[in-house]
């Protein structure tokens, strides 16, 4: 989970690159040869949703914390970690469903695309 307030596209592109300066926790994890990105989800919002989504995924999909404070050193919600471990099983479909449900239940003010469409 991450919050890229400045440039969402730039943040995602940077994480996908293999050759980069190791700066963030995720950079160090992805520098491991066996590590790979399987999928990612993005969402523009005026709220920091990473903690809400992370906790919902942890609770619903049974993610375990192996490295406290990983990706959460600047967390304002006192999350134990923003990195979850699921073992050999792949909870991707469950994560997608939790992500969708969390975003559907946000108050209207936090939905970034709530402008009326032109007709």
Helices (H), 22-119: 25-30, 50-61, 92-104
Q: List the Cα angle 78/82/76 in 5-degree steps.
A: 30
Alpha carbon distances (Å) from 92 to 60, 67, 105, 110, 115: 12, 21, 20, 25, 31
Q: Please give the residue range of the domain that contains residue 22.
A: 8-110
pLDDT tens for each residue of 35-49: 888 888 887 777 778
What token pair was written down for 20? 């980069």
Q: Is the pTM of this model over 0.85?
A: no
pLDDT tens for each residue of 99-115: 999 988 877 544 444 33
How many distinct structural domains can be found in the chain?
1
Specify if 119 maps to a domain. Answer: no
Tell me the pLDDT band of 70, cut-offs 50, 70 and 90. Answer: very high
Specify if 118 maps to a domain. Answer: no
How buried is 94 (Cβ within 10 angstroms: 0-12 exposed, 13-18 middle, 19+ buried)?
A: middle
Specify if 99 maps to a domain. Answer: yes
Specify if 1 maps to a domain. Answer: no
Q: What is the mean pLDDT of residues 8-14?
A: 83
């Amino acid at each position: 989970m991450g919050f890229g307030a400045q440039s969402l596209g730039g943040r995602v592109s940077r994480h996908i690159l293999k050759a980069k300066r190791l700066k963030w926790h995720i950079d160090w994890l992805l520098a491991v040869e066996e590590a790979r990105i399987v999928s990612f989800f993005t969402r523009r919002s005026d709220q920091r949703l990473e903690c809400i989504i992370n906790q919902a995924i942890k609770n619903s999909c049974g993610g375990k914390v192996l490295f406290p404070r990983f990706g959460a050193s600047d967390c304002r919600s006192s999350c134990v970690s923003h990195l979850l471990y699921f073992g050999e099983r792949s909870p991707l479909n469950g994560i997608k469903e939790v992500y969708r449900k969390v975003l559907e239940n946000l108050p209207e003010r936090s939905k970034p695309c709530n402008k009326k469409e032109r007709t």
